[in-house]
Amino acid sequence: MKQGLGELEQTILLAILRLGTEAYGVSVRQMIAECTGREITPGALYTTLDRLERKSLVQARDGDPTPERGGRAKRFYTLTRQGKTQLVDAQSSFRRLMEGLELLA
Amino acid sequence: MSKTALSERLLALLSTRKRASEVVGDLLEQGLTGVAFWVAILRVALRLSLRWTSAFVAAVACSVCVIALYCLYVVPKWKLPHHESWVVWSVCFAGVSLCLATATGLTASWYGIHDRLTRFTALIWLTVTASACLAWLPHAPFFVASALVAEAILLSRQAAARRLLLCALAPAAAFATSAGLFYLFSRLTAIPSTGRAGIADLAFAALACFSSLLLEFSIMRSLRFDHL
């Protein structure tokens, strides 16, 4: 049985994809707020990122420590090939369901 | 200890050190201070602990299923004439089933029911549970033992299956060892010493169960690698 992606998972994956190499916790939240008008809580963001990492849909790398973060490094995320494939699958399903409905017109 | 170090330690208990450092760093970058900072930390901690809580609840629920099934189906059969020969086998299988039940509950909750490790652990758990429940049938223990040995030999021929077997059995064995040590400790020291099923007994049982599950959980997480 194929495992689907949840709505929040898809939103976060899309935000990471849009941000390119600059996707980390703060920027992902900001991007989602700008594009969807939805403020996701830090708890929801980090538990979802945790899950996406565990499913090998995203991979993380540490940046350089910065003073405004109290000397802590940013954690940048990128989609893995598996992550892109699952996201495209999920979005294609939505597109197929939307076809002929002309809701966006 | 500063508030950032304290909050980082708190989150590291529920997640990893890297995740804790990331969360605290992100909150500091957003300029959160004082109450707002702690509220955000507590909200993240609550979300992270919910996953742990649900994993422990799932493990306990699976164990309760085994105990209920055994009490309702097997215990009434203890009166059968060939009592001595099969009851020992049945109790042993039930004990193993109980340990595998906790492993199944933890993997199902942590990695999801579609995960290979969850399915594999559940398969072994169900086999052993069925063995415990059917041990009253004549010659059943010999058939079951032969089937399990054959299954183990077949599985040990593939590296991936060996790894899965290790990931399924090692946490369950850790749980069994820890629970056994707690039991021995209580027998040797008579702690808790209420003599009846009082609050002290319940607290001790809860401590034994929680500590054993925690050990099982940490072994399961350290053994399982992402692309299992």
CA-nearest residue of chain A to B226?
A54
Q: Hey, which residues 8-27 in chain A have their CB within 8 Å of chain B?
A: 24-26
CA-nearest residue of chain A to B5?
A70
ipTM, two decimals? 0.86
**Confidence tier at A1 by pLDDT (50, 70, 90):** very low
Chain B residues whose beta carbon lies within 8 Å of the beta carbon of residue A66:
29
Q: Cβ of B26 and A26 within 8 Å? A: yes
Q: According to the model, what pLDDT value does residue B227 have? A: 45
Q: How far apart are CA A87 and CA B24, in angstroms?
A: 29
Q: Cβ of A54 and B18 within 8 Å? A: no
List the one residue out of B67, B68, B66 whose CA is nearest residue B127: B66
The region, left, alpha or beta by phi > 0 then psi within -120 to 50, assigned to residue A66 is: beta
**Which residue among A56, A60, A68 places its CB closest to the CB of B29?**
A68
Q: Cβ of B22 and A46 within 8 Å? A: yes
Chain B residues whose beta carbon lies within 8 Å of the beta carbon of residue A42:
23, 26-27, 40, 43-44
β-pair partners for A76: A61
- Could you tell me the domains of chain A? 7-98 (1.10.10.10)
* Shortest alpha-carbon distance between residue B160 and chain A (Å): 18
Q: Cβ of B29 and A69 within 8 Å? A: yes
Decide: A49 and A58 in contact? Cβ < 8 Å.
yes
CB of A64 within 8 Å of a chain B CB? The answer is no
- Identify the DSSP state of B70: I
Chain A residues whose beta carbon lies within 8 Å of the beta carbon of residue B28:
68-70, 72
Query: How many Cβ contacts (< 8 angstroms) between chains A and B?
Result: 66
Q: According to the model, what pLDDT value does residue B228 have? A: 46
Q: Hey, which residues 35-54 in chain B have their CB within 8 Å of chain A?
A: 40, 43-44, 46-48, 51
Residues B61-96 have pLDDT tens digits of 999 999 998 888 888 877 766 556 778 888 888 899
Mean pLDDT of A89-97: 88
What CA–CA distances, in Å, run from B212 to A1, A53, B218? 33, 27, 10
CB of B4 within 8 Å of a chain A CB? The answer is yes
List the one residue out of A2, A94, A10, A1 whose CA is nearest residue A52: A10
Residues B108-144 have pLDDT tens digits of 888 888 888 888 899 889 988 888 888 888 777 778 7
CB of A46 within 8 Å of a chain B CB? The answer is yes
β-pair partners for B67: none
The whole-chain average pLDDT of chain B stands at 84
Mean pLDDT of A65-94: 92
Q: Cβ of A41 and B15 within 8 Å? A: no
Q: How far apart are CA B155 and CA B174, in angstroms?
A: 21
Mean pLDDT of B153-167: 81
Q: Cβ of A46 and B27 within 8 Å? A: no
Chain A residues whose beta carbon lies within 8 Å of the beta carbon of residue B24:
70, 72
Q: Cβ of A43 and B51 within 8 Å? A: no
Q: According to the model, what pLDDT value does residue B225 have? A: 58
Question: What is the enclosing helix (H) or strand (E) of A77?
Answer: strand A72-79
Count of residues making up chain A: 105
Q: Cβ of B27 and A24 within 8 Å? A: no
